[in-house]
Amino acid sequence: MRRSTVRTGLAGLGLVLVLGGGTALAQSAAPHWVGSWGAPPAFPNGPEVTNQTIRQIVRLSLGGTSVRIRLSNEMGTAPLVIGAAHLAKPGATPGSVDPATDRALTFGGRPGITIPPGAPALSDPVAMDVGALDSLAISLYVPRDTGPAATHPLGRATTFLFDGSDRTGAETLPGAATSTARFFLSGVEVDAPDAGAVVTLGDSITDGYGSALDANHRWPDVLAERFAAAHAAVGVVDAGISGNRVLHDLPEAQFGPAALARFDRDVLSVPGARSVIVMESINDIGHPTSAALGDQAVSAADITTGLTQIADRAHAHGLKVFGATLTPFADTVFPGYFSAEGEAKRQAVNAFIRSNRSFDGVIDFDTVVRDPARPDHLRADFDFGDHLHPNDAGYKAMGEAVDLALFKRD
């Protein structure tokens, strides 16, 4: 009777007794990790990094009580050596941190880690209360040459690179060079009980091409702000890669891996993911003609078959999947990208998405941003200037058009 009572009491406190060798260890309930930020790597065409401290600022979509980061060498060609890593709240000046909030990160209790090619790595958790839309500064020291870095090319945020010794714990990085790519950091996760995440799988329009630098004005950012304002415990993880396609890679241009190839890496690996929004394939239509890739020309049926594969794979893992329609691209400044045949393919793909045959719901971005008088054109006030990518106002309209009710749990 006494043994039964003790076991029941411990369970009520969320504790488990682990017996072995005459010792007993008390463990708290497992954390509930949820993706709060993301930036998937593309092909390794970036600069080589060696003996540098890299500081990157990210804005979380979801808050929690603990934080851990995900590093990626999944596209790298050489071992990625992380000599040290720190996490802090940003300071008052660009590239600085608030030293009172600085935390050294560890990996299995050690200050660094070597990540083999093809692998990711998670840091140990750090106890830190963070809120939705809080920003974090994450600093990495890379002591050994990486070879060509597999970056996330279109970061739309300033990265600071300091040559020399480990400065991960320094308040400032005087004289640091800057980049707008993301280096080796592919995700930030938070411990947030009862929360879930939506992953936005897409190309440059999801990646935020044409949005203001360091402003978090991508449409997934706007969606995250709406979840936060509604006090909904939903993280938004942006898995857009500029130039991405559903069906083909283009390694020399950093446009891949293709969505079908990276789906497991960039969607299924996100902890707490409950749904995915798919906005892909305008580049499947435009790239073959603009880049003289005739052997990669695809039909609308090829594209919809690929989208169906994504939906089926998402459903097989219990995720809801929402199809987003392709936005207009007539008169785009990119030579050869638009054609009447390409427009016919876009219309056919959008008709398939709107038919809702493979998806749990539809997000009609085409209707939101098209010119009512010329439906194959972007609205002038939503046009970044290249007649393909929205501007900040266009991204805001897209993010505000997503029905939050789609993401309510059954």
Per-residue pLDDT of the chain (410 residues; tens, 9 = 90+): 333 333 333 333 333 333 333 333 334 579 999 999 999 999 998 899 999 999 999 999 999 999 999 999 999 999 999 999 999 999 999 999 999 999 999 999 999 999 999 999 999 999 999 999 999 999 999 999 999 999 999 999 999 999 999 999 999 999 999 999 999 999 999 999 999 999 999 999 999 999 999 999 999 999 999 999 999 999 999 999 999 999 999 877 778 899 999 999 999 999 999 999 999 999 999 999 999 999 999 999 999 999 999 999 999 999 999 999 999 999 999 999 999 999 999 999 999 999 988 999 999 999 999 999 999 999 999 999 999 999 999 999 999 999 999 999 86
Model-level pTM?
0.92
What is residue 322's three-state secondary structure?
strand
80: CB partners within 8 A, 6+ apart: 71, 73, 114, 115, 117, 142, 146, 184
* Residues 160 and 173 sit within 8 Å (Cβ to Cβ): yes
* Residues 133 and 30 sit within 8 Å (Cβ to Cβ): no
Count, in order, helices (H) and strands (E) of the chain. Answer: 9, 24
219: CB partners within 8 A, 6+ apart: 200, 205, 206, 208, 390, 395, 396, 398, 399
b vs e for 116-127, b when ≥16 Cβ sit within 10 Å of the residue's Cβ? Answer: eeeebbbbebbe
Size (the chain), residues: 410
User: How many Å apart are CA 79 and CA 123, to the nearest integer?
Assistant: 17
